[in-house]
Amino acid sequence: MTDAAKAAAAVDEDRLWRRHMEMARLGATPAGGVRRLALDANDNEARRRLVDWARGFGFACALDPIGNLFIRREGSLREAPPVMTGSHTDTQPSGGKFDGIYGVLAACEALEALERAQIATRRPIEAVVWTCEEGGARFPMGTMGSSAFAGVRPLADILKVTDDAGISVEEALRGTRAALKGVPERPLGCQVAAFIEAHIEQGPELEARGLTIGVVTAIQGARRFLVEIAGEDAHAGTTTRARRKDALSAAVRMVSALERVFHDDPTDTVRFTVGRFRISPDAPAVVPGHALFTIDFRHPDEAVLTKLGDQVEALCRAQAGPCAVTVTETSRSRPVPFTSHVPDVIESAAARLDYARMRILSGAGHDAMHLAKLCPTGMIFVPCEKGISHNETENATAADLAAGTRVLAASLVELANA
Ligand code: HGY
Ligand code: MN
Ligand code: MN
- Residues 298-342 have pLDDT tens digits of 999 999 999 999 999 999 999 999 999 999 999 999 999 999 999
CA of 27 to the centre of ligand 2 (A): 16
Q: pLDDT of 270-305, one tens digit each?
A: 999 999 999 999 999 999 999 999 999 999 999 999
Q: Which ligand has its closest atom nearest to the C-alpha of 364?
A: 1
CB burial of residue 212 (10 Å; 0-12, 13-18, 19+): buried
Over residues 59-83, the pLDDT tens digits come to 999 999 999 999 999 999 999 999 9
In the three-class reduction of DSSP (H, G, I as helix; E, B as strand; rest coil), residue 30 is classed as coil
Substitution site in 390, 391, 394 for ligand 1 pocket (most atoms within 8 Å of beta carbon) = 390
| 104, 129 Cβ separation under 8 angstroms | yes
Ligand 2 centre distance from Cα of residue 391 (Å): 12
Q: Say if ligand 1 is within 6 A of residue 365 CB.
A: yes
Ligand 2 center to residue 53 CA distance, Å?
Answer: 22
Ligand 1 pocket member 133 (CB < 6 A): yes
Please give the distance, rounded to the nearest whole angstrom, from the Cα atom of residue 202 to the centre of ligand 1.
9
Residue nearest to atom 6 of ligand 1 (CA): 134
With beta carbons less than 8 A apart as the criterion, state whether 366 and 199 touch: yes
From the CB of 142, is ligand 1 less than 6 Å away? yes
Distance (Å, rounded) from C-alpha 155 to C-alpha 372? Answer: 19
- Report the separation in Å between the CA atom of 135 and the middle of ligand 1, taken as the mean of its atom positions: 7
pLDDT of residue 308: 98
Q: Are 309 and 224 in contact (CB under 8 A)?
A: no
Q: Are 63 and 183 in contact (CB under 8 A)?
A: yes
The long-range contacts involving 304-310, CB below 8 angstroms and separated by at least 24 positions, are: 304/269, 304/270, 305/221, 305/222, 305/223, 305/332, 305/334, 305/335, 308/261, 308/262, 308/270, 309/223, 309/225
Least distant ligand from the CA of 95: 3
DSSP-derived letter for residue 313 is H
Work out which ligand 1 atom sits closest to the CA atom of 143.
6
Residues 6+ apart with CB under 8 A from 98: 20, 200, 384, 389, 394, 395, 396, 401
Q: Which atom of ligand 1 is nearest to the CA of 366?
A: 4
Q: What number is the average pLDDT over the span 165-183?
A: 97
Q: Is the CB of 134 under 6 A from ligand 1?
A: yes
Q: What is the atom index within ligand 1 of the atom nearest the CA of 99?
A: 5
What's the DSSP call for residue 15? H
Give the number of other CB atoms < 10 A from CB of residue 273: 12
216-232 pLDDT tens trace: 999 999 999 999 999 99
* pLDDT tens-digit readout, 80-137: 999 999 999 999 999 999 999 999 999 999 999 999 999 999 999 999 999 999 999 9
Backbone φ and ψ for 110, nearest 5 degrees, come out as: -65, -45
Decide if pLDDT at 41 tops 90.
yes
**Mind listing the pLDDT tens digit for each residue in 238-266?**
999 999 999 999 999 999 999 999 998 89
pLDDT at residue 38 greater than cutoff 90? yes
Q: What are phi and psi of 416, to 5 degrees?
A: -80, -10
Label each residue of 237-250 as H, E or C: CCCCHHHCCCHHHH
Report the share of the chain in percent with pLDDT over 70: 100
For residues 59 and 88, give the distance between their C-alpha atoms in angstroms, rounded to a whole number.
Answer: 19
Question: Ligand 3 mean position to 389 CA, how many Å?
Answer: 7
In angstroms, what is the span from residue 243 Cα to ligand 3's centroid?
Answer: 43
Q: What number does the ligand 1 atom closest to the CA of 390 have?
A: 5
Which residue's CA is the nearest one to ligand 1's atom 4? Answer: 365
Q: Do residues 412 and 11 lie in contact, with contact meaning Cβ atoms separated by under 8 Å?
A: no
- Across the chain, mean pLDDT equals 98
- From ligand 1's centre to the CA of 172, what distance in Å? 21
Give the chain's domains with CATH numbers: 3-220+335-416 (3.40.630.10), 222-333 (3.30.70.360)
- Mutational test site, ligand 1, from 132, 134, 295, max ligand atoms within 8 Å of CB: 134
Whether residue 296 has its Cβ less than 6 Å from ligand 1: no
Q: Atom of ligand 1 at shortest distance to CA of 134? A: 6
- Atom in ligand 1 nearest the alpha carbon of residue 389: 5
- Give the model's pLDDT for residue 265: 83
Q: Which residues pair with residue 61 across a beta bridge?
A: 71
> b or e along 149-178 (b: 16 or more beta carbons within 10 Å of the residue's beta carbon)?
bbeebebeebbebebeeeeebbebbebbee
Question: Which pLDDT value is given to residue 111?
Answer: 98
Task: Decide if 352 contacts 5 (C-beta within 8 A).
Answer: yes
DSSP, collapsed to helix, strand or coil, labels residue 178 as: helix
Phi, psi dihedral angles at 294 (to 5 degrees): -105, 155
Task: Give the list of residues 6+ apart from residue 118 with CB closer than 8 angstroms, or none.
Answer: none
CA of 197 to the centre of ligand 2 (A): 10
pLDDT tens across 371-384, in order? 999 999 999 999 99
Percent of the chain at pLDDT above 90? 99
